A and B are shown apart, each in its own frame.
Chain A
Amino acid sequence: MSIKVLFFASMADAAGTREMSVEAAGITDVISVFDRCAGEHPALESYRSSVLLALNAEFAQPSSPVRDGDEVAFFPPVSGG
């Protein structure tokens, strides 16, 4: 089984895709999903401390626990106007 990952806006450009799936083995929390994705797509790394996190469409923290079959979404920080 696996975890579905969604990338939004500029993070989809950085990842080169809007969606990927990661193996659930070794995944404990939201930030470990990010680690896995950034390992595959290094351009994501610059978003590490600013990315907004969602777990199953709910706002999440880096330490929010992730289970097999969950959906994790990453949104870039957006503070312009």
Chain B
Amino acid sequence: MTQSGERYARQLALLGAEGQEKLARARVLVVGAGGLGSPLLFYLAAAGVGTLTFVDEDRVAESNLNRQILYAENDLCRPKAGQAAERLAALNRTVRLTPIAARFTGENGPALVAGSDLVALALDNRETRLLANRLCVAAGRPLVDGGIDGWGGYVTTVVPGSTPCLSCWFEKRKPGGRAPVSLGPMAGVIGSMEALAVLQMLLGRPGPAGRLMLFDGSAWTLSPLVAGRRPDCPTCGNRGEAASS
């Protein structure tokens, strides 16, 4: 029952007590608790991130169960946010969990972003990604994003004022037309990479910041794409280094 030093024994050599303390003090907002959000939230809670707030408006459906490993058959039809909180509390009761069973919008988004040190996206659509990106750039919060479709996936970290933002990367291109195809392990790979990127940013390591890391699960390749910020970016263009202008 006691919380011994054993819980983090295997990672302390990597993080140090100071790094572990950084994670314990961190407040992370995760938007989406589905295919990507499941491994992402699992690993952040397991690693000892102190405060996890997560937002998802959906209820657990049977078609989620091929990849959304936070949920089981008993959870069908229940709100994901609440079920995720139960599962994560069972994993690590020292984490402060705030489940929000709602859609992430321009109304609730600004306060949620302002109340966090870092935002991680686990979404299934381009619009909400760009909305969260705008709020993070405006608030100067680092952002980790990932996506999957078929054999393809990506992860990137945005540091406002320093790296390209999600508008720089994606806004000029249309999102895919059809419904995304999601094989469980692809969500597992990309969601886990997002967790890695989040932990690294919290520890002061750049991880994939400034690079769009493209995973091809068919060819088994991971390709970094680099770019500068777009001067004409509608979201971060003409912002100063501290994103304050």
Q: Do A and B bind each other?
A: yes
B126 interface neighbour in A52, A58, A79, Cβ under 8 Å: A79
Establish whether residues B226 and A9, one from each chain, have CB atoms under 8 Å apart when the complex forms: no
Whether B37 is near chain A, meaning CB under 8 Å from some CB there, is yes
Whether B149 is near chain A, meaning CB under 8 Å from some CB there, is yes
Whether B134 is near chain A, meaning CB under 8 Å from some CB there, is no
A52 interface neighbour in B124, B125, B173, B217, Cβ under 8 Å: B173
Q: Which residues of A contact B149 (CB under 8 A)?
A: 9-10, 76-80
* Residues of chain B in range 60-96 having any CB-CB distance to chain A below 8 Å: none
Establish whether residues A51 and B126, one from each chain, have CB atoms under 8 Å apart when the complex forms: no
Establish whether residues B219 and A18, one from each chain, have CB atoms under 8 Å apart when the complex forms: yes
Establish whether residues B174 and A49, one from each chain, have CB atoms under 8 Å apart when the complex forms: yes
Establish whether residues B129 and A77, one from each chain, have CB atoms under 8 Å apart when the complex forms: no
Q: How many whole Å from A51's CB to the nearest CB in chain B? A: 7
Q: How many whole Å from B39's CB to the nearest CB in chain A? A: 11
| Interface membership of chain A positions 1-35, coded 1 if the CB is closer than 8 angstroms to chain B and 0 otherwise | 00000001110110000100000000000000000
Whether A73 is near chain B, meaning CB under 8 Å from some CB there, is yes
Establish whether residues B172 and A80, one from each chain, have CB atoms under 8 Å apart when the complex forms: no
Establish whether residues A80 and B224, one from each chain, have CB atoms under 8 Å apart when the complex forms: no
What CA separation (Å) do A16 and B218 show in the bound complex? 13
Whether B147 is near chain A, meaning CB under 8 Å from some CB there, is yes
- Number of A interface residues at 8 Å Cβ cutoff, please give it: 24
Most buried by A among B150, B164, B187: B150
Q: Which residues of A contact B154 (CB under 8 A)?
A: 75, 78
What CA separation (Å) do A75 and B36 show in the bound complex? 20
What CA separation (Å) do A17 and B177 show in the bound complex? 22
Q: How many whole Å from A71's CB to the nearest CB in chain B? A: 11
Establish whether residues A81 and B225, one from each chain, have CB atoms under 8 Å apart when the complex forms: no
Q: Which residues of B contact A78 (CB under 8 A)?
A: 147-149, 152-154, 176, 180
Whether B123 is near chain A, meaning CB under 8 Å from some CB there, is yes
Known: A9-B151, A10-B152, A75-B152. A80 touches B173 (CB 8 A): no
| Interface membership of chain A positions 48-72, coded 1 if the CB is closer than 8 angstroms to chain B and 0 otherwise | 0111101001110100000000000
What CA separation (Å) do A80 and B176 show in the bound complex? 9
Establish whether residues B216 and A80, one from each chain, have CB atoms under 8 Å apart when the complex forms: no
Q: Which residues of B contact A80 (CB under 8 A)?
A: 35, 124, 147-149, 179-182
* Residues of chain B in range 150-203 having any CB-CB distance to chain A below 8 Å: 150-154, 164, 169-170, 172-177, 179-182, 187
What CA separation (Å) do A51 and B122 show in the bound complex? 21
Establish whether residues A81 and B122, one from each chain, have CB atoms under 8 Å apart when the complex forms: yes
14 interchain pairs (CB within 8 A)? A9-B217, A9-B218, A10-B152, A49-B173, A50-B173, A50-B174, A50-B175, A57-B225, A79-B124, A79-B175, A80-B181, A81-B35, A81-B122, A81-B147
By a beta-carbon cutoff of 8 Å, the part of chain B in contact with chain A is: 32, 34-37, 121-126, 129, 146-154, 164, 169-170, 172-177, 179-182, 187, 212, 214, 216-219, 221, 223-227
By a beta-carbon cutoff of 8 Å, the part of chain A in contact with chain B is: 8-10, 12-13, 18, 46, 49-52, 54, 57-59, 61, 73, 75-81
